[in-house]
Chain A
Amino acid sequence: MIDEPILMDSETTNIVAHWSKALKASDREAFKNIFNHFYAILLAYASRILESRETAKDVVQEAFITLWNQRSDVDPGKSLKAFLYRIVYTRCLNQIRDRRLVGLNEENFENLTSMENFEPDIMNENTGITEILEKIVSRLPERQREALLLSRQDGLTHDEIADIMECKPATVNNHITGALKNLRMYLKDMNIEGYQ
């Protein structure tokens, strides 16, 4: 008898693979299960990109409609999670483009590999490392930030991230290592203890 449930990735994958198979055969119950299983994490993911929970809701719901309409393209042998993330990712980017936020966005993401725009006043010696990291992660170049967070927050494999970001797994690796290098450089520049 055990007291703690064992949370596992690999067996969940089994169940999801079942659902994928059933989904391909137009099984609505399987679709509902997939929806219930992935809705919350996809909503969190879209919220992270769009910074608006309301828009994120629309995007994720539309993503599930796309999933149903494209169910014949689902490959039960492949990661359904990556398939869903990719639909959401593409839709989020479209959303940003449609709202003509591209310029703003590029500015946000691309020119911030240096510390020039950093506001040191929001931090003092009491600011925890997690808060500091949160701020500097948001200033990483977009692709680096995306790859790093998909890996660290969503727990996706390099292959899954490559699927979502439409690049090679080796490129994912470059983004993540690049991100770590940048973070390390920022922290060093800031003379954070342990990172000098």
Chain B
Amino acid sequence: MNNRRQQIPNEIERWISEQEADEQAVYRQLWVETGELPTPAQDITDDELNEAYAAVSSVLFEDGNHNKLKNRNPGQIAGRISRLTYWAAAAMVTIAVSLGYIFFITGTVDVNAANGEQISYVFSDGSSVDLNSGSSISFRRSFSSSERHVTLYGEAFFEIEGDSRPFIVETHNAVVRARGTSFNVRSRSDHAEDETSVVLSDGEIEFFPRARPDNSVFLKPGQLSKLRELSERPTDPEEATVERFLAWRKGGLFFNDQPLELIFSEIERRFDARIEANPQSIKDQRFSVLYSSPESAERILRDICEENMLTMNVIGENRFEIF
């Protein structure tokens, strides 16, 4: 674990500082060294993980799944076949391990763009992603043999390499299934907005609610579709100005007739700013914003305030009060 915290928690630091002066360095050293103790192996193979999940889900979910039960009824034969497959898989793993190659090391990778920053990341299959401020993705270190799966929190632009496995982006309420394409996904679920929206630049994608995979829509290049909260189906694909939805990748900011609450949230993320608006009702006013390369949060907020007859005070570095 390379992200193991080396920092000493406040409570411990306080205790250490109460010790004799010549003991303090020893305790700090001990703190560091205990963090480097070997842990029982945390890396497990994909097969182990899938097998473990299958065991758990068969206990919990199989009753409701009639297809699976039907397949199982022929009993012993099916059982034997699956066990055979299992041993074959196990043998392959053993061979792989004994050759010294462990192909399917798992473990979850989290990539995060904090407020105030944007980052790019290239996956092991060559696909890449640009993450907008205040967004993150989480995925298994090695993709499985059947799909490439990424969980997104926030907004990101994906460029997917063609591959026999579909590339799946999952958000809080929706799923996007793609092959060789590039598209933008925005998924926010806070006070200001609770929806996932997808804009496709090229290729084709399938977009559906997590809970209703059957209610999917297919997007063509230049089209946009949204899924609000927990609605049953995404909106029909409509033509959209793709460049505007991708403006954030070049540092731009674009919002068409959106409540100020949502615009403020985005400015907070982009510039790592804090905006306090009183009374709350200010945030319900709607506004359009289009900046190709905004220089600062203050500049945008001044423009917004001027247009909406609001007053702004700067109350600290990147901290603003609007009333």
Please list the residues of chain A having a beta carbon within 8 angstroms of any beta carbon in chain B: 1-2, 5-12, 14-15, 18, 22, 27-29, 32-33, 35-37, 39-41, 43-44, 47-48, 53, 57, 60-61, 64-65, 68, 129-130, 133-134, 137, 148-149, 151-153, 155, 157-158, 169, 173, 176-177, 180, 183-184, 187, 194-195
Contacts and interface: CB of A to CB of B under 8 A. Distances in A.
27 contacts: A2-B119, A6-B112, A7-B2, A11-B136, A22-B210, A29-B170, A29-B210, A36-B106, A36-B108, A36-B140, A39-B52, A40-B42, A40-B43, A44-B40, A44-B41, A53-B40, A60-B52, A64-B56, A133-B34, A133-B37, A134-B37, A137-B34, A152-B34, A153-B37, A157-B9, A187-B30, A194-B29
Given A5-B109, A130-B36, A40 B53 contact: no
Given A15-B110, A32-B57, A134-B38, 15 more contacts: A1-B119, A6-B111, A8-B3, A14-B153, A15-B151, A27-B210, A35-B56, A36-B53, A40-B43, A152-B34, A153-B4, A173-B15, A187-B30, A194-B29, A195-B26
B309 to A, nearest CB: 35
Contact of B23 (A33, A41, A60, A184): A184
A157 B12 CA distance: 12
A37 B4 contact: no
Interface string B37-79: 1111111100001001101110111000000000000000000
A22 B107 CA distance: 22
* A-B residue pairs, 9 tightest by C-beta: A11-B112, A11-B136, A47-B40, A7-B3, A8-B112, A44-B42, A44-B40, A5-B111, A152-B34
B39 A153 contact: yes
Give the interface SS of chain B, mostly helix, strand, loop or mixed: mixed
Contacts of A37: 108, 138
A148 B9 CA distance: 12
Give the interface SS of chain A, mostly helix, strand, loop or mixed: helix
B38 A130 contact: yes
A17 B94 CA distance: 37
